[in-house]
Structure formats: C-alpha cells, structure tokens
Amino acid sequence: MRVLVTGGAGFIGSTIVDALVARGDTVVAVDDLSTGARANVATGTPLRVADVSDERQLRGALRDEAFDAVVHAASKTKVVESMEKPDLYRRVIVEGTRNIVKIADELGARMLVNLSTGGAIYGETADCAAEDMPVKPTSNYGKNKAEAEQIVAASRVPSITLRLANVYGPRQRKDLEGGVVAIFLARWRSGEPLVVFGAGSAQRDYVFVSDVVDAVVASFAGTWNGVYNIGTGVATSVNDLIAALSEILGRPQGLTHTAARPAEIERSCVDASKARRDGLWRPRTTLVEGLRRTASS
Ligand SMILES: NC(=O)c1ccc[n+]([C@@H]2O[C@H](COP(=O)([O-])OP(=O)(O)OC[C@H]3O[C@@H](n4cnc5c(N)ncnc54)[C@H](O)[C@@H]3O)[C@@H](O)[C@H]2O)c1
C-alpha cells in the first residue's frame, strides 16, 4: 500500500511509519517538525516538511502523489498550551484536518484514519467512557479535536476516528505535557526525584504505542468506520504507575509532592469494548510489559 502519515515525525506517527515500512508499505511522512524530529522518521522514508493547516504548502509537498490510505496524526497536543494559543490550536487541528480530508480525496485514498483523543473529549469518567457517552471537552485542544472528528465523519473518503487513551512508549518526549511515563523514566535515569501532582491519585488509561499502531493498521481494511475508543479500560493511578515502574527500575531517588494542577481530570478511562466486539482491535500489551519495553528502549 501507499500510505501518507501526517505527523509522521512525531511520537505516534513515526511509530506508525516504522510499522508500515516493516510490513512493506510505501510511506510518505508530512510534518512541520514543530514537536516532531527528522531523526524519528525511518531511514529511506521521504519526509515532506509542511504545515497541514497551510493548504498551498501541503498541496506543493504532495504534488503528483497518490495514496491508498492516509493516517492523520499531525496535531498540536497540549491542553494547557491550547488555552494560551487558541488560534494556533484551531488552525492546526480544525483547518489542518479540513485540508487533509480534502487532499485525501484528491489523492485517491480509500481510507482515512484520524487520531483523536479520549482523555480530552470525554472529561471526567467515573466509569470508562464508551463511544456513545456525550462528549464534554473543556479545553481548546479537546473542543478542536471534537470538531475535527465531525469534519472527518463528513469526508467522502471512508474514514475512522480512533479516540486514543493516554499513549506511552519508546520515543515519547519527556518535555511535552502529559507524557508522564516518559517524564518519570527520564527522572529515574538522571537520578532526580519524581514530582507528583496532588496525592498521586489521578487515574489514566495507559495504552502502549504498538497497540495503537495495531489499531491503525487494522483500520486499513475499511471494514469499520465511525468512532472507536482505543484504550485498555483500566484506570491506573500515578501512585500505581510509580509502583509498577519501581518493580522494573528499583526505587526512584525520592518523591516530591506538589499542588494538584487546576482543572486536572481525576479519572480518565476509555471503554474499548466496541472495538473488541466488532473485531477491530483489542489491547495486547499489559502495562508492566509496555513499561518494560519503554524503559529498555
Ligand atoms: N500521546 C498521547 O497520549 C495521545 C493521546 C490521545 C491522542 N493523541 C493524538 O495522537 C496524535 C499524535 O500525537 P503524538 O503524541 O504523537 O504527538 P507529537 O507531538 O509527538 O506528534 C504530532 C506531530 O505533528 C506534527 N505537527 C504539529 N503541527 C503540525 C502542522 N501544523 N503541520 C504538520 N505537522 C504538524 C508535530 O511536529 C509532531 O511531529 C495527535 O493527533 C494527538 O492528538 C495522542
């Protein structure tokens, strides 16, 4: 297959590129390198540096190309930053998605896979959220991602939106908001104490990046469309995450507690039983196994 991966120099996008190259697909990555890195892109895979929200630039970068499938992973991803830079987030997420939908059609794609977010869309989830739970995004990031989902749903190209839980794995940056596993691992390695917000009771659904890649690849079959949650259905607290990492790495060099971040969600978890029921996907990697693979990367 010929596949276009937007955000192909980022954490998840570049891991998708690796998997596609390994299975023999021809891949082109598009990325503006704002948070991604050229070094992440598999050797031999063309990287077109372009801003997805700039239609002219995007068209120029993809002139004369044709693709069987498009994976849209390019996005701004930081909740706090989205409140400080509303215009940037709207432009990249909403206008960027509009451009990708249009171009996917023009370039002949038969499948569009859109990466969205469970955490920022469902809000507080006492029970793990299923896809039919009303969305309640509070941040500009979540609101724009919800709007982008609608744009994708209205696409002429058959499409699927994967609402991802908290993704972790090798290559995740430690300086970006939210990548708590990457942040903790870096502190373990440098011997610095871990900083825990509040009591460490905040729970998240941690899904391993290779499992997310499996969901993307399965989506190419075109059998499924609409919205699917991709997560484990298990909510793990920060304290439990530290305990699991301690099993692998030994005790951290101390713990510092600081005030809980305002507006931080206490419990975020997605129910992926629709994906399992429909035969699209199920998680394969346990948290301990995923942490082990991340720690040894
Ligand atoms: N990491 C997570 O836990 C998580 C959870 C839910 C959803 N997601 C979604 O997964 C996707 C990938 O996220 P990630 O964690 O790999 O983040 P990332 O920042 O590593 O990757 C995003 C990539 O998009 C690129 N990009 C940003 N703006 C661009 C633009 N205007 N034009 C072209 N490229 C641009 C960045 O340079 C980067 O390489 C995003 O859609 C994100 O919303 C991630």
Residue 13 lies in a domain: yes
Please give the C-alpha separations between residue 261 and each of 6, 57, 79, in angstroms, as whole numbers.
31, 38, 12
In this structure, are 142 and 121 located in the same domain?
yes
∠ CA(236), CA(239), CA(242), 5° rounding? Answer: 95
Q: Which of 14, 30, 35, 268 to mutate to test the pocket of ligand 1 (most atoms within 8 A of CB)?
A: 35
Q: Which atom of ligand 1 is nearest the CA belonging to 167? A: 3
In the reported structure, the alpha carbon of residue 124 is separated from the centroid of ligand 1 by a whole-number distance in angstroms of 22
∠ CA(202), CA(119), CA(149), 5° rounding? Answer: 175
Burial of 292 (0-12, 13-18, 19+ CB in 10 A): middle
DSSP 135: P
In this structure, are 39 and 54 located in the same domain?
yes
Q: Which atom of ligand 1 is nearest the CA belonging to 10? A: 39
Burial of 241 (0-12, 13-18, 19+ CB in 10 A): buried
* Catalytic residue, candidates 141, 168, 206, 228: 141
In the reported structure, the alpha carbon of residue 116 is separated from the centroid of ligand 1 by a whole-number distance in angstroms of 10
Residue 173 lies in a domain: no
Residue 185 lies in a domain: yes
Residue with CA nearest ligand 1 atom 30 = 51
Looking at residue 176, its pLDDT comes to 65
| Distance separating alpha carbons of residues 228 and 43, to the nearest angstrom | 31
In the reported structure, the alpha carbon of residue 241 is separated from the centroid of ligand 1 by a whole-number distance in angstroms of 23
Q: What is the chain's mean pLDDT, rounded?
A: 96
In this structure, are 138 and 154 located in the same domain?
yes
CATH code (residue 246): 3.90.25.10
Query: Tens of pLDDT along 190-224?
Result: 999 999 999 999 999 999 999 999 999 999 999 99
| Distance separating alpha carbons of residues 90 and 81, to the nearest angstrom | 12
In this structure, are 66 and 83 located in the same domain?
yes
Looking at residue 264, its pLDDT comes to 79
Number of domains in the chain: 2
| Owning domain of residue 94 | 2-168+206-233+270-285
Residue 102 lies in a domain: yes
Looking at residue 61, its pLDDT comes to 98
76 CB near ligand 1 (under 6 Å): yes
Query: Tens of pLDDT along 248-264?
Result: 999 999 999 999 877 77
In this structure, are 244 and 135 located in the same domain?
no
In the reported structure, the alpha carbon of residue 257 is separated from the centroid of ligand 1 by a whole-number distance in angstroms of 29
Residue 175 lies in a domain: no
Residue 240 lies in a domain: yes
In this structure, are 109 and 158 located in the same domain?
yes
Start-to-end C-alpha separation, the chain: 29
Q: Which of 33, 75, 294 to mutate to test the pocket of ligand 1 (most atoms within 8 A of CB)?
A: 75
* Catalytic-residue membership of 168: no
In this structure, are 79 and 192 located in the same domain?
no
Looking at residue 73, its pLDDT comes to 98
Residue 174 lies in a domain: no
Looking at residue 261, its pLDDT comes to 79
Residue 138 lies in a domain: yes
In this structure, are 138 and 54 located in the same domain?
yes
149 CB near ligand 1 (under 6 Å): no
DSSP 129: B
In this structure, are 249 and 106 located in the same domain?
no
| Distance separating alpha carbons of residues 141 and 78, to the nearest angstrom | 7
* pLDDT-above-70 percentage for the chain: 99
Query: Tens of pLDDT along 22-61?
Result: 999 999 999 999 999 999 999 999 999 999 999 999 999 9
DSSP 75: -
In this structure, are 32 and 146 located in the same domain?
yes
pTM for the model stands at 0.98
Provide the pLDDT confidence category of residue 178 given band limits of 50, 70 and 90: low
Query: Tens of pLDDT along 227-283?
Result: 999 999 999 999 999 999 999 999 999 999 999 877 778 999 999 999 999 999 999
In this structure, are 155 and 222 located in the same domain?
yes
Question: What is the biggest distance separating any 2 CA atoms in the chain, rounded to whole angstroms?
Answer: 55
In this structure, are 140 and 213 located in the same domain?
yes
CATH code (residue 142): 3.40.50.720
Query: Tens of pLDDT along 151-163?
Result: 999 999 999 999 9
Q: Which atom of ligand 1 is nearest the CA belonging to 51? A: 32
| Distance separating alpha carbons of residues 134 and 155, to the nearest angstrom | 22
In the reported structure, the alpha carbon of residue 255 is separated from the centroid of ligand 1 by a whole-number distance in angstroms of 30
Query: Tens of pLDDT along 77-130?
Result: 999 899 999 999 999 999 999 999 999 999 999 999 999 999 999 999 999 999
